Structure formats: structure tokens, C-alpha cells
Amino acid sequence: MIAKEGITSSAAARSSQLAPYRSTIIDHWVLGRIQAFVKSAPIRFVLWDGFELSPRDGPPVATLIFKERAALYGWMWDPELNFGETYMAGLVEVEGSLLELLEAIYQSFTRPHRPWWLWQGSNDTRAARENVHHHYDIGNDFYRLWLDDEMVYTCAYFPTPEASLEEAQIAKLDLVCRKLHLQPGERVIEAGCGWGSLALHMARRYGVSVRAFNISSEQIDYARDRAAREGLADRVEFVQDDYRYVEGQCDAFVSVGMLEHVGAADYPTLGRVIDRTLSMNGRGLLHFIGRDQPAPLSPWIRKRIFPGAYAPTLPEVFNRVLEPYSFSVLDVHNLRWHYAKTLEHWGQRFETASRQVLSMFDEQFVRAWRLYLIGSQASFSTGSLQLFQVVFARGNTAATPWTRVG
Amino acid sequence: MIAKEGITSSAAARSSQLAPYRSTIIDHWVLGRIQAFVKSAPIRFVLWDGFELSPRDGPPVATLIFKERAALYGWMWDPELNFGETYMAGLVEVEGSLLELLEAIYQSFTRPHRPWWLWQGSNDTRAARENVHHHYDIGNDFYRLWLDDEMVYTCAYFPTPEASLEEAQIAKLDLVCRKLHLQPGERVIEAGCGWGSLALHMARRYGVSVRAFNISSEQIDYARDRAAREGLADRVEFVQDDYRYVEGQCDAFVSVGMLEHVGAADYPTLGRVIDRTLSMNGRGLLHFIGRDQPAPLSPWIRKRIFPGAYAPTLPEVFNRVLEPYSFSVLDVHNLRWHYAKTLEHWGQRFETASRQVLSMFDEQFVRAWRLYLIGSQASFSTGSLQLFQVVFARGNTAATPWTRVG
């Protein structure tokens, strides 16, 4: 649920009319600073009284309208946070393509600045539960409006760009299974199982038994219902618990879209869990949103969408999860274009269902989620975010397959 | 060329007869210490007078015979160096499979110890030239005895385990080209080109122009001859120079089997060279011997075979070569089983040609190269060494392919 704090105002209600006061020379200077910050982005900036700055080169891809002075100064103060805050509050409006506007902004940062010091807080069990509850427990009915039939809320795999979202999510589930070389009768542990689609797919199509962990109560309830309905409850056990308390032994350890919520400070804990549970010839797969250089997620995303989340670089994961236990990296696959395409589908479905979403929540919620979905699409399409699938095994395993899955 | 220093003795000459003195209780204690060092390895140890220690569990995979006391104490003093020194000098003999003996030893180190402090010296231009001269300029005639027809001295890619070495080397050249998505007319820079097989393959089959760098004079001469004979000299330029001095622009940057010789201290230099030369939508491929945890190569390998060489972990390469320039990792492929198979082929061909090798060099040379080839095979088959192919591009490139090469 989107918290009701920060810049909220009633601007959304009066989004069609402009503020009655004139912009000053100081306002124009501030707007110039904002334009300079994204200087190569072809964007037209407009203030509440019609004052405008055109892009230095070429026609604009979109127009960005500040509807109140507070929004303008919010951007000056903390652009990364207040872009999202002012957009969701309706204090800023975009004419033209929001996607192209965001892509242009991301592309204008050609070399991301590396923070000198990156604070990576620890998510203890309670914080993890609260963070997950914040996002994943806002209602299965809401997610059903715009996810695929299988309710898969992670990057899909499009065999061709024209594949449907339904096809691409099934293809992703299958890609994961094939990369793990699952054999009938093997034991799988899944850390962070969402609504259970991967666990059920593995049991159904590959004949394995699965223990799948999740701390979201809404998701676990949904997954257990599905297992019972499909007659798979004897082979797929959904456990409502934290990944830290995973016990037992497995031949394959898989985690799709959970590492982002673990937080870098707890990667060694995850490594220890994998080492404790994985059999001698076991294989593992981690699927996660990552980066080319260390950087925190946008402060707006951390405030409104994913508290406690972090998108790591490959070395951060390798050094802290795999290397201490001498796990051997067999395969890394970057699927960032597939996530941009997945988010395009989600965004379109979300827009189609936006009136229903509005009736379930409010205008701010709709605008926040629109920005989150389209902003994420722009992050993946411009390479600001990556999507990595990493396959690994124990370094001295004898069971490494001869060729890999394409 | 193998240097004539360290333990050499004339033991090789009298390898069929045993030393005339008796082993003492101290010798037996030392042998017990050596056995304890590789305690889970099923090896029978025998001293010069017939005293023996059998493996604690099961039948031995091979027998290791110390023919002189000096060899025994050399192992006690520095086992990693003196295994090789005493073997090449003929002071130690192996009955049974040398490969299985070495695999058993590597497997007995289940958790490699991580050195607290790893000194990674810099290879300056002169050191690089001397290191390369040491290994690669010992004579094309020698390498022709046991390499494939194309003279490829790096890990092959076996479409099936039954493929011939010739087929597998061509398949590897092609795998590299396909991973780079080479288009006719594109410009390629190759750093460390061996005898030129990849550069010529790229120009011949993919219609690209190539500038290929190498500091080995024997290899460059050979490669230029081939280019001239094949009528490819206008499209493949072989430059005898260090990778540091690579100039120009390219659409693909490729380096197969050179990173091992760069040394970790100079990775930032390599990153700078790639950043300077690669076009905006360019792709890169690094193919190198690596490890799961940081560790130096065996001191014997560094002394006798590859001075200045180092096999890095993926994070060492990513952090120092790719991350500073925001290159994006698209694909990592671990081919360690393919290198074990390649070395099996090389070892068999080397044995077949061993009389010719003996006539060109001497018995110590033959024994040193046998140990190097079989020891390397055991390193890859047990997972002590890895072989990584890494494909990367600029983080904001628009030309990332939709699907990857299998």
C-alpha cells in the first residue's frame, strides 16, 4: 500500500487547471538547473503559467509540466526522490510518452556516478516480513488484473519478441527447470516462491518434489490452494517462513526474484543456507535484478514500492554468496531486454485495468504504479538495470552437464 | 624452454634402479606427514628401499615412488613446487595413471584454503615479453607435433564428447564469432592472437577486418605467412606489439587465452584499452582460465611453464576490467569440462610424439610437459581450475541481441 505521507496535496484533483500565480526569474533559473541536470535529454519543460524551456537539440520526446512551485523546488532539492513523489501526487504531468521521457533521462546519465560509500542495511527477519507485506500483500485481486494467468511476477523469457506474456512466462519457468537439469524424483528448495507458479511447474512437468518458502501470507495461501486443486500437495510443500530458516537437503536450490529483497548485508547468510542444504552434486540458480556498477535503487522506489530492496552487481553476489563456499559459476545469462518487454506487457495491462485499480485504491496509487512499471521498463531498456540468471554448482561436482541450455 | 636450475640431478638416467641406502624411521615419519596432507587420496607411497604406505581406504589408484631421500624432503619442504621439480627430474616415479593420481590429490583438497594475502605482481611490457617468449617461442615445430591443424592452443568446444580435436577447435572459433554476432564489414581487435587461427577464421567466414596483436615473434611470423598464403593479408593485420599499445576503433574486442598472462595488477589497463577502442554498440569477449576462489597458480607451473601467469575469479575480472567502464555482462559460459577434454587430446598426441620431442629437447623437458598437460587436465576435471567465456557490451548499448548463442 502506498503510504499517505510526503507531498500529497490535492493537486491530483485539480490537475486540469493551472495555478493562478506567475513564475519568477528564480523559478526560471531553477528550471534551467533541472534542464542542465539531464542536459542531453530532448524534453520540453513547462511551468504552471506557461513559461517553457525547449530542448537544446531536436524536437522533444515529451513535455514535462510543473503544476506548482512546490514540485519545482522538490526536484531541485532531491530529484531522484521527488520526481516520483510529485508525479504520483499529480503535481507534475507528462504530455507525450512517459516511457520515452524516462528513457531520455536515463540515457542522459551516460556514466553513472559511483557512490563513494554505499550503505547497505541489514534486513532482519521482522524487517523482511514488513517489506514483503508492504508490496506483495496488497491483494491477489489487484495482481490478477494485470499479471499473466500463472501469476508470475518476475521477468519472463520471450522466445520471440512477439510471444504473448502467457507464453513467455511459461517459457521462463521452463528455462529455469532446463538450466537446473532437473531429474524425476529430485528434491528442490525454492526460496521466495511468489504465488507458487515455478514450484508447481517443476513438480508437474519435471516430477520433482519441492519445498517452497515465502513470507507473504497472501501468496502462500494462494499457492497452497493451487497445489491442493491440482493434486500436487503431496509433492509441493509451501512453507510460510523466512529463507534463513530453510532446512533439509536438496538437489537443486532456486530463487527467482528474491535476492533483490535480501539486501547485500545478508548475502553471506544466503550463501550459508545454500551450502547447508545443497547436496554434493546439486545445482543452484539465482535470478535477480542487478547492475553494472554498485548503486542504490532510486530513493522513490525504496520509499514507495520496495522498502529494503537492492539490485547488486555480479561481483557483489559472487563474492558474498558463492565464493565463500567455493561454488562454481557455470552460466550467467543477462535477460534485461526480456524484462523491458515483460514490463511493457504489464504496463499495458495495468492501463487497461486502471479504472478497476482506481476503484480498489485511489488516483495516487494508480499514478505511483504507472510510474513504477514504466520507469522500470525504461531502466531495463536503457541498461540502468540488468536481469541476471546465474547457474552454479559445487566446485568439485562431477555432474556438470556437457552443453548448456541456450 | 625449461630452465636448468633447481633439483635436476642425473636421476632420470638411473630411473630404473633404486638407491642403495635404507630408509630410516624419520623418512617413514616424513612419508606419513605427506600421506596425511592428501589423506583422502587413495595413493600407495613407496620409498627407494621398498618401504610403503598403503591408502587408508580402498585400493590405490596409483603408486608414487620416491627414488631418493632428497625428493622426499623436497616434498616436505614445499610440496606444491617440488612435486613438479622432483617429477620432471625423475626423482619421483608414478606407476599407474598419473591423471588419476593427480585428480585424487586435487579432490583431497575439498575446501581450498584461501590465502590471506595474495601478491599479484605487475607484468610490465618487458616482463610480458620475456614471459611469453619463455613459453610460446620454444618452436612452432614442437607445437605442430601435438596441436590441431589450425594450431589453436586454447580450450576447444566439443559439440559432443566424441568430436575430434580438429572439429572441436573449429567449433570453438565459430562459437566465439557467433557470441560476438559479427557482421560483414565490422572491425575486430584481437589481443593475444596465438598463431592467428581465430583472426583468420573471422575474416574468412564472417567477412570482418581484424587487427590482431601478439608479442610472440615466432607466432606472429607464422600467422603473417598464413594470412599471405590465404590471400587475407588485406583484411587481417598481425601486429607484433603489447595489448597496452592497441590503438584504433573496433566493433568487437576479443581476447582468447591472454588474460592469464596479463596479471591481476594490470586488469585496469586492459579495461582502459577496451574502453578506448570499443565503439558505442561494440561487443567484447574474454576467454580465460579462472578460479572459484582467489589463489595463485601452482608455484611449479609459474616457475617452469607460465612465469607471471594468474588465473582470476570472475569478480576479479568484473571489478577491475569491466565495472570501471560500466560494461555490462551479457553472458558467462563455463567450459571447464571442454578444457579437460582438450587437454586429454593434447596429452595423448604429446605421448605419441614423445620420441620426437625427446630428440628436440631432453628427458626433463618431456617429463615436465607431460606433468603440465596431465596436471592441467586433472585441474579442470576436478574443478580446481575453470574456463570462462565472458561476453560483454557497453551498458547502454542498443544492440543487445534478443536471444543468446547456446
Q: Do A112 and B326 touch (CB under 8 A)?
A: yes
- Mean pLDDT for A241-251 is 91
Domain-located, residue A138: yes
Residues near B388 by beta carbon (within 8 Å), at least 6 away in sequence: A329, B286, B287, B288, B289, B290, B314, B317, B332, B333, B334, B335
Spatial CA neighbour of A332 closest among B177, B286, B215, B123 = B286
Least reliable range by pLDDT among A130-134, A180-184, B8-12: B8-12
How many Å lie between the alpha carbon of B62 and the closest alpha carbon of chain A? 21
How many Å lie between the alpha carbon of A28 and the closest alpha carbon of chain B? 32
A307 with A249, same domain: the answer is yes
Domain-located, residue A259: yes
ipTM value for the complex: 0.90
CATH number where B23 lies: 3.30.1050
B313 with B346, same domain: the answer is yes
Give the chain A residue whose CA is nearest to the CA of B114.
A324
Residue B298 structural domain = 125-394
Tell me the H-state helices in B48-144. Answer: 69-77, 79-88, 98-108, 125-136, 140-144
How many Å lie between the alpha carbon of A381 and the closest alpha carbon of chain B? 8
Out of A319, A384, A404, name the one closest to residue B333 (CB): A404
Which of A110, A111, A379, A396 to probe the B interface (max B CBs under 10 A)? A396
More confident residue, A272 or B107: A272
How many of the other CB atoms lie within 10 Å of CB of A31? 22
Rounded to whole angstroms, how far apart are CA atoms B272 and B324?
Answer: 9
Long-range contacts of A43-48 (CB under 8 A, 24+ apart): A43/A101, A43/A104, A43/A105, A47/A23, A47/A72, A48/A18, A48/A19, A48/A21, A48/A23
Give the chain B residue whose CA is nearest to the CA of A399.
B337
A64 and A43 Cβ atoms separated by less than 8 Å: yes
Tell me the H-state helices in A38-184. Answer: 69-77, 79-89, 98-108, 125-136, 140-144, 165-179
| A242 burial type by CB count under 10 A (0-12 exposed, 13-18 middle, 19+ buried) | buried
Is the per-residue pLDDT at A247 higher than 90?
no
For helices B217-229 and B197-206, the axis angle rounded to 10 degrees is 30
B171 with B263, same domain: the answer is yes
B207 with B136, same domain: the answer is yes
Last residue of a domain, one of A57, A83, A108: A108
State residue B399's pLDDT score: 61
How many Å lie between the alpha carbon of A105 and the closest alpha carbon of chain B? 12
Out of B159, B315, B394, name the one closest to residue A315 (CB): B315
State residue A116's pLDDT score: 41
Q: Do A403 and B406 touch (CB under 8 A)?
A: yes
Out of B292, B319, B329, name the one closest to residue A332 (CB): B329
Nine cell digits for residue B344: 586429454
A207 with A315, same domain: the answer is yes
A130 with A103, same domain: the answer is no
Q: Which B residues 316-355 touch A at CB under 8 Å?
A: 318-319, 322-323, 326-334, 336-337
A76 with A185, same domain: the answer is no
Out of A322, A337, A405, name the one closest to residue B400 (CB): A337
Give the angle subtended at the CA of B15 by the CAs of B9 and B17, to the nearest 5°: 115
Confidence of residue A396 (pLDDT cuts 50, 70, 90): confident
How many Å lie between the alpha carbon of A270 and the closest alpha carbon of chain B? 18
State residue B116's pLDDT score: 41
- Mean pLDDT for A168-193 is 97
Q: Is residue A112 less than 8 Å (CB to CB) from chain B?
A: yes
Residue B264 C-alpha from the chain's centroid:
16
The per-residue b/e assignment along B36-52, b for 16 or more CB within 10 angstroms, e otherwise, is eebeebbbbbbbbeeee
Out of A313, A326, A400, name the one closest to residue B292 (CB): A326
Give the chain B residue whose CA is nearest to the CA of A179.
B406
Spatial CA neighbour of A236 closest among A261, A215, A205, A262 = A205
State residue B190's pLDDT score: 98
Last residue of a domain, one of B57, B82, B108: B108
Q: Do A292 and B111 touch (CB under 8 A)?
A: no
How many Å lie between the alpha carbon of A242 and the closest alpha carbon of chain B? 28
Total tally of structural domains belonging to chain A: 2
A86 and A74 Cβ atoms separated by less than 8 Å: yes
Q: Is residue B293 less than 8 Å (CB to CB) from chain A?
A: yes
Rounded to whole angstroms, how far apart are CA atoms B68 and B21?
Answer: 9
Domain-located, residue B15: yes
State residue A253's pLDDT score: 98
Q: Which B residues 233-292 touch A at CB under 8 Å?
A: 292
- Mean pLDDT for A235-243 is 95
State residue A19's pLDDT score: 59
B29 with B158, same domain: the answer is no
Is the per-residue pLDDT at A272 higher than 80?
yes
Domain-located, residue B120: no
Q: Is residue B163 less than 8 Å (CB to CB) from chain A?
A: no
B33 with B130, same domain: the answer is no
DSSP B214-283: E--HHHHHHHHHHHHHTT-TTTEEEEES-GGG--S-EEEEEEES-HHHH-GGGHHHHHHHHHHHEEEEEE
Rounded to whole angstroms, how far apart are CA atoms B231 and B225?
Answer: 10
For helices B197-206 and B165-179, the axis angle rounded to 10 degrees is 60
State residue A12's pLDDT score: 41
Q: Do B314 and A313 touch (CB under 8 A)?
A: no
Q: Is residue B107 less than 8 Å (CB to CB) from chain A?
A: yes
Nine cell digits for residue A262: 535480501
Rounded to whole angstroms, how far apart are CA atoms B210 and B230?
Answer: 15
Residue A317 C-alpha from the chain's centroid:
17
Looking at beta carbons, which residues of chain A come within 8 Å of B384? 395
State which amino acid sits at residue A299. P
State residue A402's pLDDT score: 80
Rounded to whole angstroms, how far apart are CA atoms A363 and A166?
Answer: 28
Nine cell digits for residue B159: 559439440
Looking at beta carbons, which residues of chain A come within 8 Å of B395? 292, 383-384
Domain-located, residue B399: no
State residue B39's pLDDT score: 83
Spatial CA neighbour of A396 closest among A317, A316, A319, A282 = A282
Looking at beta carbons, which residues of chain A come within 8 Å of B386? 328-329
How many Å lie between the alpha carbon of B163 and the closest alpha carbon of chain A? 12
How many secondary structure helices (H) and strands (E) does chain A include?
Answer: 16, 11
Rounded to whole angstroms, how far apart are CA atoms A76 and A310?
Answer: 25
State residue A130's pLDDT score: 77
Give the chain A residue whose CA is nearest to the CA of B328.
A292
State residue A200's pLDDT score: 98
Domain-located, residue A42: yes
State which amino acid sits at residue B350. F
Rounded to whole angstroms, how far apart are CA atoms B266 and B192?
Answer: 15
Residue B67 C-alpha from the chain's centroid:
29
Q: Do A329 and B314 touch (CB under 8 A)?
A: yes
Domain-located, residue B405: no
Residues of chain B under the 70 pLDDT cut = 1-19, 110-122, 398-400
More confident residue, A400 or B262: B262
Give the chain A residue whose CA is nearest to the CA of B403.
A159
Which of A113, A275, A293, A394 to probe the B interface (max B CBs under 10 A)? A293
pTM as predicted: 0.91
How many of the other CB atoms lie within 10 Å of CB of B8? 16
State residue A37's pLDDT score: 85
Is the per-residue pLDDT at A165 higher than 70?
yes
State residue A5's pLDDT score: 36
Is the per-residue pLDDT at A390 higher than 50?
yes
Query: How many CB pairs below 8 Å do chains A and B form together?
Result: 107
CATH number where B149 lies: 3.40.50.150
A147 with A44, same domain: the answer is no
Rounded to whole angstroms, how far apart are CA atoms B267 and A210?
Answer: 43
Out of A318, A333, A337, name the one closest to residue B314 (CB): A318
Confidence of residue A397 (pLDDT cuts 50, 70, 90): confident
Out of A326, A336, A386, name the one closest to residue B112 (CB): A326
Q: Is residue B40 less than 8 Å (CB to CB) from chain A?
A: no
B86 with B142, same domain: the answer is no
> Which residues are paired to A329 by β-bridges?
A392
How many Å lie between the alpha carbon of B282 and the closest alpha carbon of chain A? 15
Q: Do A322 and B388 touch (CB under 8 A)?
A: no
Confidence of residue A224 (pLDDT cuts 50, 70, 90): very high
B160 with B101, same domain: the answer is no
More confident residue, A353 or B396: A353
Out of B111, B327, B332, name the one closest to residue A331 (CB): B332
B368 and B270 Cβ atoms separated by less than 8 Å: no
Domain-located, residue B342: yes
Last residue of a domain, one of B51, B80, B108: B108
Q: Do B158 and A406 touch (CB under 8 A)?
A: no
Looking at beta carbons, which residues of chain A come within 8 Å of B111? 326
Q: Do A403 and B318 touch (CB under 8 A)?
A: no
B150 and B197 Cβ atoms separated by less than 8 Å: yes
How many Å lie between the alpha carbon of A132 and the closest alpha carbon of chain B? 29
Long-range contacts of B175-179 (CB under 8 A, 24+ apart): B175/B389, B175/B405, B176/B254, B176/B256, B176/B285, B176/B287, B176/B389, B177/B201, B177/B202, B177/B205, B177/B206, B178/B405, B179/B285, B179/B331, B179/B389, B179/B391, B179/B404, B179/B405
- Mean pLDDT for A391-395 is 92
Looking at beta carbons, which residues of chain B come within 8 Å of A383? 328, 394-397
State residue B18's pLDDT score: 57
> H or E stretch including B391?
strand B386-394
How many of the other CB atoms lie within 10 Å of CB of B54? 15
State residue B17's pLDDT score: 56
Q: Do A337 and B405 touch (CB under 8 A)?
A: no
Out of B160, B332, B383, name the one closest to residue A395 (CB): B383
